[in-house]
Each structure stands twice: as structure tokens, then as C-alpha cells.
Structure 1
């Protein structure tokens, strides 16, 4: 059962959720830049990180499972850009999105492989996705008062394997949210400091695992996640995809 939108909005409106969104948004913008002119989808409950891209993409949609309840998200003054979707079927044409972010989506889906199949379908050729999921080894997956303590947590290896099976090629991975899941000013005000210390002292114990992958139209025989998995997600920005005209 998925969490309701009111609970998610309350978490991300509190200092702990605000700090978490800031850290995750920084990871994504470090990786993808502002995605200017591209088409972007936020799947699950990705609204807290989509705001970081609001000025760049030509199109940006927040696809929220209908189990969350009514959600509204205004994109850069263009009106509501949130749409309720089923699980796992997505109401979008093939190859519509250049960038896809999955946050609070994978942990509570009933069929992860079918979920990934739909994501592959709606991702453009050579498009890129990021799966952000609660880390099984981290403290946040045990913090049931946060959205990351709900559903099934994942390991980095499990996410890479799921992507490989789904015909994506893994290109980078990272961990985030090293601060304790405590809504205390001493913790939330120093979120970036916790990140710096955690990456050095306990790189595998971040509360969230992020794995980036690229859509390949053809997978090599017995192929898998051939690209190396890195500890840090600060990479050279990928070449921008050709902008498609909107109809």
C-alpha cells in the first residue's frame, strides 16, 4: 500500500524533509545539469526534487500513483503538471521522456520488473533514468516515520541487476542522506556536513541509493550492467539529447 500525499507533503514541508530534498536535488543537478530543452518525468513522488529543474526542461511531468490521492504541482507558472497514474501502466507514448527520475516509486510497486518495463517504454532512445530508493543497509529504511521507511528497501546491486534485466545500462551510482533521520535542528542545519563525513567514513551506509542508467535499444548477448558503477555521482554531464518539438 502506498503512502498518502498528505503524509508525504507534511514530511517534505518539515526541516528534515526539506534537507533531504535539498541533498537529493543537488545529486541530480550535479549529474544532469538543468536539462534545458529536454523532456522530463518524475515518477512516484518526485515533486520535491523536480523543483530543482523547473527552469530548464521544455516539458516536465510529475506522474503520481493515484493511491497517493489528489496532488497538484505547478510547473514554472504553467499550471498543474501533476497527473495521477496507475501501477504499473503509464499513460504516455513510447519514447516520450529524455530524463526520468523515480523517487518513492520502486519501493512500493507490486511488480518491479513490469514497472521497469513501462519506464523503458516511455524513455527516449539513449535517454537516462535515475532510480532513487531507500538503502537496505541504511538507517533511513528503518525510520518508519519517514517515507523512506515504507515498502521494500533496495541495495545498489539489486538496483543494478533490475536495470540490467530491464535493458538499461548502468552508468553511475551514489549514496545520499548520511544524516540521521531525526528532525532536529542540529542535524538538519548541517545536512551537507553529514554528507561529506558520511561519504568518507561510511560510503555504503547512506539512507538512499541512486543509480543512473541509459536506455539501450539493443542489449548484447548475456549482457548486463557493463558500465562501471562509481561511488560518486559527480560525472561529466551527458551530451544533451536532441530536442523534440511538442505537439
Structure 2
């Protein structure tokens, strides 16, 4: 039996952070939601960020329906991704993933119809798909190409980022000045734009619009709550 990977990082740390709720749209039609928990923690005496993402999508088509439920947890520190665990059910097909960094290598175990292991050298990765845009914003460059570990497909993609002029967005009950970033994936051939606001633990995604094949996908923040307490893991 393959162990439930979510148990490797649970219970969740309870450090200072945020709870975020996003609506997901495809071609302007609502298809689901993403619930995000972000918390600052201490990991081996160093600051780190704990993330839990829970996503539920339902798409009704003319010939068939699409259903996806997923949950993932990860810890990001000064060296990047430290630990990862994820579960998903896509159209009835289950998958479970665990990942851990040790030394200069990230080892990922993926259980679908069989168990396989992928190993990535840290020298080959600049960021993950979770934090690549934030890493680009922190660099304060106008444009850059990053080697990004895709946490959906568990392969390395090259993504080009460009900094666009700031914009003001009225979302989640407030008007905020956002940093705007465009991105283009070379392997997935996905293009898009993300709107971010700076915060104590990095940047918060306010909105993202992307295009993949014939679909226009959009993620919009509609609720933002702050949490405050202390924890060490």
C-alpha cells in the first residue's frame, strides 16, 4: 500500500499567515474553487513557508464531464522546495505524490497505476511552478527565463517572465496596487498574466489569466483572511 502523502506534513503548522479563497473560471464560466492556506513557520531554526492548496473543479461538456479534486502541501525555504505531498482524483483516476529534498537533490515518488521515482538536481532548478513568479518579482528584473519544476507534471519547463506596469485591482473587499507579471511556458505553450501584491511572507496572487490551447482560464481572489499565532516544525 502507498501511504497517504498528506499525512507526512499534517497536522498543518499554525504560524502567522493567510487563508485565501479563489474562484476558477474557464472561458468566463465558473468551474470550481481553490482554497489556500499560507503560514510562516520555523523549520530547523530557519524561516519557511508552509502551503496547503485544495482545489475542486467540475466541468460539464457536450460529450463528457471533467472532475478534479486535489490537495497538496509543501514547505518552501531559502533553498526552495523542501517537502511536498499531494493527492488527486481526476476523472476517477487517483494519484499520490511525495517529495523531499536531501543534499543537492529532490526525490519525488509518484503513485498512479504504478510507482515511479523522479530525481532532480537542485542545480537544474530555479523555482517551482508554485513560487516561480514570486522568485522573479523578488529578483527585481524586467525579464528572465527560469527553469521551473512543474508540480502538476513533475518535469522541468522553461518559463519566460516579463514585468509589466503596475495596475490597481478591486478584489477581496479592497482596492490594491498590484505588481503585474506576464509568463510564457515553452514546454506547455501556456501564456498568461498574474497580478500580485507584496506581503510579509512574499507576494499574494490576486488574479491570474492564462491561455492554453483554445481555453481561457482565470483565477480570482474573492476572500482573504489573516491568521496570527506561532509554531515550529
TM-score, normalisation: structure 2: 0.35
Higher strand share: 2
Q: Which has the larger radius of gyration?
A: 2
